[in-house]
Structure 1
């Protein structure tokens, strides 16, 4: 089994690396950028250094293999992100592990974005220099189906296929007739995208290695202009540092996670996050991504509580986004 796992791991790494090299061709030319915005408050607070974290249903947004270690039967998470420029994101995910994950873990996820109302104007020869044609409301969503399975006590794999749609509205006017009527052209597109990931328990304390490739798809286009999705390759490590001092300590844990990322549309980045948890109830978090143009340090906190057989969790994260003001995320998790 170990030899088979090594072969699988080698093949996956070769495929991932080849796709990363392909992604170097078109920097800063990706579309459907809403797919790059994370949908979980805990992950955001950790600077999205989550590739090697064994998680829950929200792993489908980062590394789908993370949900292979789900301990409960059902896990449900709802998240809201108050993004810059009054843009709002909603994320929801559910994962089910029948027969104690004997057949793997199955998941569904949805991400949607509300850009609000934008003014539709066109150039005009009048006094104002433009003609007001009302408003339009762009929107986008991604609907995903995921699967993950622990192939052994050390090795887990996962994948996610998602249907991605974006509607930029009909705000682009093609021409104006002499009677001031106008014709409009609708700009929308859709595509299927894929996410893949692996996680490997190294056997040294709680050290876990992870790797993921997100937003792999064919090239898409609006009318005549083609572009690619924000393909991102990440590798990461995570470990509970308390294990170095005292294993089996249920009172405290201090998780340290580090990711190295290669986005298609940006330079290489390092993600680092830390999480201190007391009594498996209260968690305090901080994370940082470098380099970035405006983002500062991420902060967050979480509370968990078990009640009548259900586990309830609430998470919050805060990010200072420089000149773009602050970003707030809220997540609610229920599992049993």
Structure 2
């Protein structure tokens, strides 16, 4: 098992180590920027500090190794009313492979998951070099990513996972496609402490028209501390190829309302939106749950661009 862990870490360093050498000198040089938007209202309210949080279908984006702790069917969906009329959607489903193939439940065959992300700008006016004569028509822009992931826990503490992504972008009559992989590891130190890390968006460069920009590859590390069942703290560090080091911190408090109902309050800080004026960087949210269903809300201010509101649901069975 130690050899497997060392091999996994070596693979991560070999494929993602180059991301550590990038920084502010490469700002604005990545394509498929929609991949930088983290899905889910719960992670967003916690400053997107989610690399070490496991057992959630949203791990298909944040750290595929976290899928290994999903005990049964886990379905989630999100709508994000982004600024400037942009609309961002996300959906994911995860389930143990033993359930999918009808094997005995006690057999640990890992967890499989599918995810889809979409960012749409809707219809926009087409104009010439000047505004004389008004618009000559309309055009649209859509970005999409489809993910297939698998994760498995090996010794009760270490989990490894990966995701294969197909990315498609369209702008007016032009389109581009790319393939990428995500790799992740999760290690539970004890019932309260856990660590997560990996690599996101490593793959080919989509070529939209005559321009091919590399994907926003990012090495990430995170930790989570849960001193008791109703309280969670998390911290993430991100090392993207196209900007300086990013960090996010978040906290969650869950209170039992009745025997079957619960409420949650979350807040955090994300350096990803800290450049915005006003309350940029601050994140907050709430959640309500009843039995196996959860509804979550997050508020993420973006300065002069306005506030973004994310709404998520999660169903487990």
What TM-score, normalized to structure 1?
0.84
Separation of aligned partners in 1, 2:262 and 2:134:
57
Separation of aligned partners in 2, 1:68 and 1:23:
31
Is residue 2:56 matched to residue 1:56? yes
Q: Give a deviation string over 1:235-286, Cα, whole Å, max 9, x none.
A: 01101133xxxxxxxxx52111001111222211121000011238221100
Is residue 2:286 matched to residue 1:301? yes
Contact 2:199 2:220 in 1 (8 A): yes
Structure 2 match to 1:208: 194
Shift of 1:302: 1.2
1:19 partner SS: helix
Q: Give a deviation string over 1:48-68, Cα, whole Å, max 9, x none.
A: 000001131111111111111
Contact 1:195 1:216 in 2 (8 A): yes
Q: How does 1:166-185 map to 2 (within 5 A)?
A: 166-169=169-172
2:48 partner SS: coil
Structure 2 match to 1:90: 89
Q: Give a deviation string over 1:19-44, Cα, whole Å, max 9, x none.
A: 31465573321111111111100000
Is residue 2:221 matched to residue 1:240? no
Separation of aligned partners in 1, 2:15 and 2:289:
36
**Residues 160, 283 of structure 1: alpha-carbon distance in 2 compared, 3 angstrom cutoff:** same
Structure 1 match to 2:212: 226
**Alignment equivalent of 1:269, drawn from 223, 246, 258:** 246
Structure 2 match to 1:139: 142
Q: How does 1:247-258 map to 2 (within 5 A)?
A: 253-258=230-235
What TM-score, normalized to structure 2?
0.89
What 5-or-longer segments of structure 2 have no aligned partner? 99-104
Shift of 1:115: 0.5
Q: Tell me how many residue pairs correspond in the alignment.
A: 301
**Alignment equivalent of 1:110, drawn from 106, 116, 119:** 116
Separation of aligned partners in 2, 1:217 and 1:303:
38
Separation of aligned partners in 1, 2:117 and 2:133:
35
Shift of 1:7: 1.7
Separation of aligned partners in 1, 2:63 and 2:193:
17
Shift of 1:187: 1.6
- For the pair shown, the structure with the greater C-alpha radius of gyration is 1
Separation of aligned partners in 2, 1:14 and 1:30:
21
Contact 2:301 2:308 in 1 (8 A): yes
2:88 partner SS: strand
Structure 2 match to 1:248: none
Separation of aligned partners in 2, 1:7 and 1:76:
33
1:267 partner SS: coil
Structure 2 match to 1:283: 264
Shift of 1:46: 0.5
Separation of aligned partners in 2, 1:220 and 1:88:
22
Shift of 1:324: 0.9
Contact 2:271 2:281 in 1 (8 A): no
**Residues 131, 282 of structure 1: alpha-carbon distance in 2 compared, 3 angstrom cutoff:** closer
Separation of aligned partners in 1, 2:226 and 2:92:
26
Shift of 1:212: 2.1
Contact 1:296 1:322 in 2 (8 A): no
1:122 partner SS: coil
